[in-house]
Structure 1
Amino acid sequence: MRGAAEVRERLRHVRWIGGGSGGGKSTVARRLAGEHGWRLYATDDVMAEHGRRSTALDSPLLCAFAAMDMDERWLLRSPEVMLETFHWFRGEGFGLIVDDLLRLPDTTGVIVEGFRLLPRLVRPLLAEPGNAVWLLPTPGFRRAAFESRGSLWAIAGRTSDPETALRNLLRRDLLFTERVGAEARALALPVVEVDAAMTEDELTARVAAGFGH
């Protein structure tokens, strides 16, 4: 069994970008990876694989979510219940992220991004608190980001009441962002609030400066 100190030392070359959906994590991570020659690990890209590697024993919320239809997921429960029962928001599968990172070569830097990087789970892995940052988008910024991607209705549009489902989804994401921000601040970890007044260049520079670059 690996000790916490060993894992922390082996992941010393890793930088982490977490936070709410639509906050610019992927954009900033791609830019920094390109500018500094870092390997990019996007946690969204491995969600399907991690779902297949999970079991009812280690990921009961994921299995329960998978068994629901779209209305059960996004219409028949309150945003508060959605928040409390969404598997990735509760840390299920985080160990699979760590396992993946430990298998990567440590000869170059790695930048990890995604909403699954919960502050309380990342903090024990940090050699330095400044090796991680959480981006906290305002509701307006989040909605605009989804609209610009063309993904605003990607989930809600598959329910029987897309408008209600979208309101529920956006409310759940707001609650998650608020929780992540409070958790990061309580652990004295860096956060950046992202709104429409902040340009992509400014956001990237803020994150890079926090990482010491």
Structure 2
Amino acid sequence: MRARTERLRHVFWIGGASGAGKSTIGRRLAARHGLRLYATDDTMTDHAARSTPEDAPYLREFAAMDMDERWVNRSARTMLETFHWYRGEGFGLIVEDLLRLPPEQGVIVEGFRLLPHLVKPLLATPAQAVWLLPTPDFRRSAFESRGSLWEIAGRTGDPERALRNLLERDRMFTERLHEETGRLGLPVIEVRAPMTEDELAARVTAVFGL
């Protein structure tokens, strides 16, 4: 593990809950500081294809469900506990991808798949990583402005219930990240209104010492 830590010294990690601005801040910092951007959301299809049933049992179970089975007919708690990316499935493929990149250029990695207990062993220093955790009001406002959850909920037989389940699942995931980062002593930025994009970028920059 120490060898991996040394090989990933040039990597900065931005984790956190959905709706916190991870992608936006990642793009801004990468462009401003000449860093490569690795967005974990963009790799999900590839990682799903590269996963084996033995490595990703929750992913295979999820893939076999229809939209109502995923988002309407189960409780938010069950959705949280069985969502494959929240279980850490595919994280090893993220690390594999990063280790293949040339180390001469720094890398910003961003996405909700960066679970604190999986990232911490790869850090040479805690200042290589930060988790952005939105307040419920900020998260709801972000989702309403971009409509991303409605895109999922709208493809179910009960969009209102599906949306409630998704919001509650994400609230519980945010709480889990709060607990885990606190227990592990990892940097966190709470994202709340009226924090601007410039302010958030400046705070992440300060954590990383860029």
Q: What range is the shorter-chain TM-score in?
A: over 0.9
SS at match of 2:148: coil
User: 1:124 offset after TM fit, Å?
Assistant: 0.2
SS at match of 1:16: strand
The answer (yes or no) to whether the contact 2:149–2:166 under 8 Å persists in 1 is no
- Among residues 173, 180, 183, which one is paired with 2:180 in the alignment? 183
User: 1:75 offset after TM fit, Å?
Assistant: 0.8
User: 1:197 offset after TM fit, Å?
Assistant: 1.5
State the match for 1:137 in structure 2: 134
Matches of 1:109 and 1:145, distance apart in 2 = 29
Q: Letter of the aligned partner of 1:65 in structure 2?
A: F
Quick one: percent identity of the two aligned structures?
71
| 1:117 corresponds to 2:103 | no
State the match for 1:105 in structure 2: 102
Q: Letter of the aligned partner of 2:65 in structure 1?
A: M
| 1:10 corresponds to 2:7 | yes
User: 1:121 offset after TM fit, Å?
Assistant: 0.1
User: 1:165 offset after TM fit, Å?
Assistant: 0.3
CA displacement 1:22-78 (0-9 Å, x = unmatched): 101001000000000000000000000000011110000000000000000011110
- Among residues 85, 92, 96, which one is paired with 2:93 in the alignment? 96
Structure 1 gap segments, 5+ residues each: none
Matches of 2:82 and 2:133, distance apart in 1 = 21
Matches of 1:138 and 1:166, distance apart in 2 = 17
Tell me the matched-pair count. Answer: 210
The answer (yes or no) to whether the contact 2:4–2:122 under 8 Å persists in 1 is yes
CA RMSD of aligned residues (A): 0.7
SS at match of 1:17: strand
Structure 2 gap segments, 5+ residues each: none
SS at match of 2:131: strand
SS at match of 1:155: helix
- Among residues 171, 174, 190, which one is paired with 2:171 in the alignment? 174
Q: Letter of the aligned partner of 2:194 in structure 1?
A: A
Runs of 4 or more above 6 Å deviation: none
Matches of 2:136 and 2:71, distance apart in 1 = 18
| 1:36 corresponds to 2:42 | no
What is the TM-score with the length of structure 2 in the denominator? 0.99
